[in-house]
Amino acid sequence: MDARVSAKIQSVFEEPACEHNQNKDEKARKKGCTKQLSPGAAAGGCAFDGAKIALQPIADVAHLVHGPIACEGNSWDNRNSSTSGPQLYRTGFTTDIGELDVIYGGEKRLFKSIREIIEKYDPPAVFVYQTCVTALIGDDIEAVCKRAAEKFGTPVVPVNAPGFVGPKNLGNKLGAEALLDYVIGTVEPEVTTPYDINIIGEYNLAGELWQVRPLLDALGIRVLACISGDGRYKEVAQSHRARAAMMVCSKSMINVARKMEDRYGIPFFEGSFYGIEDMSDTLRNLARLLVERGAPADLLARTEALIAVEEKRAWERIAVYRPRLEGKKVLLITGGVKSWSVVAALQEAGLEVVGTSVKKSTKEDKEKIKEIMGEDAHMIDDMTPREMFKMLREARADIMLSGGRSQFVALKAKMPWLDINQERHYAYAGYEGMVDLVREISKTLFNPMWELVRVPAPWDVPAVGEVC
């Protein structure tokens, strides 16, 4: 493995702000968070895929994948990350290397591809992604990007996270390192205000950021940069001038938040947009940090006033669904903060949460579940598809909320299912998002299709007088 990539991986593993890492002993920490992947084991996403997921939402940048065409096919737009403007990020650029490039090297081809993109699209920057094959044949993407940037006068950013170095999560962090090394701090903003913030690790899936922005606008808080949802190259480049930052719960970019605090003195907190209580806490924390860094103190009172109005409105709108949803049982298979943050809203709508998965949850997440759902909360550590099927089939749950991977279990059991993970098409952030979630649950539960699919096929119904 390239010595630069090895060093980067080591520094990511030693991230002091990562609790998971800090809880390990010295030996385990050195070993890192990953095992070498065996062929086929990258099905959940390789490091390259993770880097692409983290950076592709920067919408005005050309994202060029240096490798065989299948790598781009594997990673292209596989999240529903939305943009309010440029569409360039959704164009699949790849060097599409072949056998001859493997023999003679793919660097010339990469250089030509960068030139072609700049001539045709004139983007503010080109991001170049390393992949397994081009890393194995020794293509030096850093050198090519440097030369291209000098020659064409456009920033060309190498993202060195070939698939074989580890899983998707590591790739998220390596992608973030490319921003720290080549982008953040390279442009000065025209104006700054005491209300400037960064949102880190938010990908604007299904447009969730847009459910939160109006709340920030109402408080006069300016998002200097969202890294990377609905992002623009220039915004990320000037994000070092923000007064405070929020790191979205997934921790996929904890290294960006922590290093920006070290380098530029931007304090950050970990928050979530999911759930009414969490949204309010996030607004409070943002206001507090900004005031601590010099924003006028009235921001705190204005924030409390906004929270009071928005919470009341959201609870009233959720309560409308109560008569319809009262007593319906929900199986929640997700992870992290979502394993508890949406529970309060579901309970308010009259739904009973019969189980929530805690596979990816931290100790604090589990404590929080107990607090909301009681000591005998049913926490599911790792449920096999067979157990899920049984639970749905025996009607111990009326609906399953989960990610796309387990959808077929629910559909096979002919039970309602709603996607709440990263591939979802509906946005569930902020106060508005919780109301939308309850509405979608109601629509899914009462979809007349379920009655129809449960009717036995005509050939399975014995004819009159026929013995089965």
Q: In terms of C-beta density within 10 A (0-12 exposed, 13-18 middle, 19 or more buried), how is residue 317 classed?
A: middle
- Of 74, 172, 250, 356, the residue at the interface with ligand SF4 (CB under 6 A) is 74
> By CB neighbour count within 10 A (0-12 exposed, 13-18 middle, 19+ buried), where does 157 fall?
buried
Q: Which of 440, 215, 421 is nearest to 318 (CA)?
A: 440
Question: Binders of ligand SF4 among 359-388, rule CB under 6 A?
Answer: none
Tell me the helix, strand and coil percentages in the chain, rounded to 5: 50, 15, 35
Nearest approach in angstroms of CB 254 to ligand SF4 is: 23
Which stretches does DSSP call E strand in 170-296?
196-202, 222-228, 244-248, 268-271
Told to check if 56 binds ligand SF4 by CB under 6 A, we report: no
Can you tell me the distance from the alpha carbon of 139 to that of 107, in angstroms, rounded to the nearest whole number? 6
Pattern of binders to ligand SF4 over 26-45, x per CB under 6 A?
----------------x---
Q: Which lies closer to ligand SF4 via its Cβ, residue 168 or residue 424?
A: 168
> How far is the C-alpha of 400 from the C-alpha of 413, rounded, in Å?
11
Structure tokens at 29: 């920490």
Q: Does 71 bind ligand SF4 (CB under 6 A)?
A: yes
> What number of chain residues touch ligand SF4 (CB under 6 A)?
12
Task: Find all residues with CB under 8 Å of 71, minimum gap 6, and list them.
Answer: 48, 65, 94, 129, 131, 132, 163
Tell me which stretch binds ligand SF4 (CB under 6 A): 157-165, 222-230, 403-411, 427-435.
Answer: 157-165
Q: Is 48 in the site for ligand SF4 (CB under 6 A)?
A: yes
Half-sphere exposure of residue 173: CA atoms within 13 angstroms, side-chain side = 25
- Which strands make up the sheet holding 156-159, listed edge to edge? 93-94, 62-66, 126-130, 156-159
Contact 179, 155 (CB under 8 A): no
**Near ligand SF4 by CB under 6 A: residue from 18, 53, 132, 237:** 132
Pick the piece of the chain touching ligand SF4 (CB under 6 A) from 67-75, 235-243, 386-394, 419-427: 67-75
The stretches of 32-87 forming alpha helices (DSSP H) are 47-55, 69-75
Q: How far apart are the first and last CA of the chain?
A: 64
Give the separation between CA 429 and CA 444, rounded to whole angstroms. Answer: 19
CB of 91 to ligand SF4, least distance (A): 19
In angstroms, what is the minimal distance from the CB of 166 to ligand SF4?
Answer: 10
Stretch that binds ligand SF4, among 160-168, 185-193, 399-407, 448-456 (CB under 6 A): 160-168
Local structure of residue 455 (DSSP, 8 states): S
Q: Among 9, 18, 33, 46, which residue interacts with ligand SF4 (rule: CB under 6 A)? A: 46
Residue 134 interacting with ligand SF4 (CB under 6 A): no
67 touches ligand SF4 (CB under 6 A) = yes
State which of positions 184-243 bind ligand SF4 (CB under 6 A): none
Position of tokens 């899914």? 444
The smaller minimum CB distance to ligand SF4, of residues 109 and 241, is found at 109
Min dist. Cβ of residue 405 to ligand SF4 (A): 18
Q: Shortest Cβ distance from residue 75 to ligand SF4 (Å)? A: 7
Nearer to ligand SF4, 131 or 406 (CB): 131
Q: Least Å distance between CB 195 and ligand SF4?
A: 41
Residue 158 or residue 162: which is nearer to ligand SF4 going by CB? 162
The residue number whose beta carbon is nearest to ligand SF4 equals: 163
Per CB under 6 A, residues contacting ligand SF4 are 42, 46, 48-49, 67, 71, 74, 131-132, 162-164
